[in-house]
Amino acid sequence: MRTPRVLALGMTAIVLVGACTTGGGSSAAPSTPASSQAASAPASAPASEAPKVSIRIGSDNFYESKLVGEIYAQVLENAGYPVERKFGLGSRQQRIPTMDAGQVDLVPEYVGSGLGFYDPTKTTGDGQANATALQAALDAKSKNITVLGISPGQDTNAFAVRAEDATGKNLKKLGDLAAIQDTLTWGLPSDCDTNPLCAGALKKYGINYPPKKRTALGACDVPMAQALQGKAIDVAEFCSTQPAIVQFGFVVLEDDLKTQPAENLAPLVRNDYLAKVDKAAFTALLDAASAKLTTEALTEMGKAVAIDQKDVGEVAKAFLQQQGLIK
């Protein structure tokens, strides 16, 4: 995201972030297993004389996906790869066909939701297990995409309410909403209908879907937080690293049935692109960047953009310089 969106609430102007569910090509090149977890990646990639082929990097249409896409873009540019940014492709349902059609070569993915798109029965609370199962699902589908190393940090789906409602209605767990569900206005993304981690999760708690009163809003985005703060909705789907949660004191309800999988980040790369470059050197560059993406780092960068209103490109650059990945 080159220009952050600003939300004015009272005297406070903020940019809100998020990532999870709103969010995947053809090549004869063989697929390879998911890379080992990025946390063990080297701090820098080995030198390579292989061609530095131009790469098209996409993202979903929310802030955090764009930020991580920008981090990968700057790491590759620093190593001499020409980069074309094609951020904001839409939700996962829109982005996956775009990548399958060969319009982008790399996108950041949340491995739990990515796996859930193909087979929600395989998702777990283990990020590496989700990455491995996602690779298997992609191999079964087309053998066109490789999952690289995962980040140690993650950003999961989170359902939240205003603090006064959490106290006044004794809301602590997501299941507490079932008894009062028809009295609430639910803020849910438009893709919740087809997302097993949204509609499917709510149904597991005995919540009728679609809810009696529902407003379709982008998950983890500006209007969702604005609507919850302004009492236009009573329940909102956010992302766990979203600064608005702390900014406005929203209460995240416990997912006591553990319906949400581990959501570590990983680059998905088309195999026909990997066949054109030194795969080991290219992978090492991205694994090194992913290894630095802790939950704390994602949250801190979100604050830099959301609260401090800094440019996403500058936030990504400062992060990479601090980690010694670019000069």
Of 265, 272, 235, the residue nearest 159 (C-alpha): 235
Task: Tell whether 6 is covered by a domain.
Answer: no
Q: Do 277 and 314 share a domain, yes or no?
A: yes
Q: Which residue type sits at 140?
A: A
Query: What would the pLDDT profile of 181-194 be if each residue is shown by its tens digit?
Result: 999 999 999 889 98
Q: Choose one of 216, 232, 252: the last residue of a domain.
A: 252
Residue 311 CA to residue 120 CA, distance in Å, equals 35
CB atoms within 10 A of CB 108: 27
pLDDT at 246: 84
Task: Tell whether 38 is covered by a domain.
Answer: yes
Task: Tell whether 5 is covered by a domain.
Answer: no
Q: Do 21 and 109 share a domain, yes or no?
A: yes
Of 88, 120, 115, the residue nearest 104 (C-alpha): 88
Which regions in the chain score pLDDT beneath 70?
1-49
Q: Do 44 and 138 share a domain, yes or no?
A: yes
Cis peptide before 46 (omega within 30 of 0): no
Task: Tell whether 217 is covered by a domain.
Answer: yes
Q: Do 266 and 318 share a domain, yes or no?
A: yes
pTM score of the predicted model: 0.77
pLDDT at 41: 43
Q: Do 113 and 221 share a domain, yes or no?
A: no
pLDDT at 170: 97
Q: Do 40 and 126 share a domain, yes or no?
A: yes
pLDDT at 91: 87
pLDDT at 223: 86
Q: Which burial class, exposed, middle or buried, applies to 263 when counting CB atoms under 10 A from its CB (0-12, 13-18, 19+)?
A: buried
Task: Tell whether 85 is covered by a domain.
Answer: yes
Q: Choose one of 234, 252, 270: the last residue of a domain.
A: 252
pLDDT at 48: 52
pLDDT at 29: 34
Q: Listing from the earlier edge strand, what are the strands of the sheet with 251-252?
A: 214-216, 186-188, 235-239, 157-161, 251-252
Q: Choose one of 231, 252, 273: the last residue of a domain.
A: 252
Task: Tell whether 43 is covered by a domain.
Answer: yes
45 in Cβ contact with 136 (< 8 Å): no
Q: Do 246 and 162 share a domain, yes or no?
A: yes
147 in Cβ contact with 31 (< 8 Å): no
Query: What would the pLDDT profile of 250-278 be if each residue is shown by its tens digit?
Result: 999 999 999 999 999 999 999 999 999 99
Residue 326 CA to residue 10 CA, distance in Å, equals 39
Task: Tell whether 175 is covered by a domain.
Answer: yes
Q: How many domains does the chain have?
A: 2
- Domain hosting 276: range is 15-154+262-322
Q: Do 57 and 44 share a domain, yes or no?
A: yes
* The Cα angle at residue 272 between residues 268 and 273, in degrees rounded to 5: 65
Q: Do 20 and 118 share a domain, yes or no?
A: yes
Residue 299 CA to residue 295 CA, distance in Å, equals 6
Task: Tell whether 3 is covered by a domain.
Answer: no
pLDDT at 187: 97
Q: Do 180 and 58 share a domain, yes or no?
A: no
CATH number of domain containing 120: 3.40.190.10
What stretches of 107-249 show up as alpha helix (H) in DSSP?
111-118, 127-141, 163-168, 199-204, 222-229, 243-247
CATH number of domain containing 210: 3.40.190.120
Q: Do 275 and 232 share a domain, yes or no?
A: no
Q: Do 71 and 207 share a domain, yes or no?
A: no
Of 317, 311, 318, the residue nearest 1 (C-alpha): 311
